[in-house]
Amino acid sequence: MRISVRITAVIAGALLTLVVFAIAYSTARGYTVWFLKIPNTIITVNGTQTNGWLQKANKGHAVFFTLADSGKSLRYDLVFVDDVNGRVLSCGNWVASRLPLFPVGDVNLRCFFEGSAGHNLTRGPHSIAFHRKRRDET
């Protein structure tokens, strides 16, 4: 009985070590990016302060924004090309995690193929602002 418990513990420990190593390796090599939920951010869409939350990674160069004003939440990928300006991409039906920390892998690009969803993206120290495209805009 004690031998089977030891064997089970060794196997579980080896699997846990393998998983931790794989996560550390993919994070160190840039294959996995970790997004952190940012509290108390002022979010302005189309000139109006809105409800929602931001999750950022890569020192703020990659940001997911979830707009929670309407009955159905909308998600955007905010990609900053420099310290101030960037692009707004639609995430379609993808739902960003509400957890305070979650990973996104490089082979699992969530919002890249949905296309542009806005313009005039700017950010301040604790704020994000952009204009959403209307459906008839291209």
* Segment 64-78, tens digit of pLDDT: 888 876 667 778 888
Residue span of the structural domain in which 12 resides: 1-30
Q: Is the pLDDT of residue 35 over 60?
A: yes
Q: For the residues 96-112, what does the mean pLDDT come to?
A: 72
Domain count, the chain: 2
Answer yes or no: do 22 and 86 share one domain. no
Instruction: Give the model's pLDDT for residue 113.
Output: 61
Does some domain include residue 137? no
Is the domain of 22 the same as that of 45?
no
Residue 4: Cβ within 10 Å count: 8
The predicted model scores a pTM of 0.68
Q: What is the DSSP letter of 64?
A: E
In a domain? residue 25: yes
Query: Do residue 88 and residue 49 come from a single domain?
Result: yes
Instruction: Give 15 or 70, the one with higher predicted confidence.
Output: 15
Is 138 within a domain? no
Q: What percentage of the chain has pLDDT greater than the value 90?
A: 7
Amino acid 17: pLDDT: 93
Question: Which percentage of the chain shows pLDDT scores above 70?
Answer: 80
Structural tokens at position 79: 């990609």
The answer to the question of residue 68 being in a domain is yes
Backbone region of residue 93 per phi and psi (left: phi > 0; alpha: psi in -120 to 50; beta: other values): alpha
Q: Are 129 and 114 in contact (CB under 8 A)?
A: no
With a cut of 50, say whether residue 124 has pLDDT above it: yes
Are 77 and 115 part of one and the same domain?
yes
pLDDT confidence of residue 136: 43
Q: How far is CA 45 from the centre of its chain?
A: 18
CA 14 to centroid of chain Cα atoms: 30
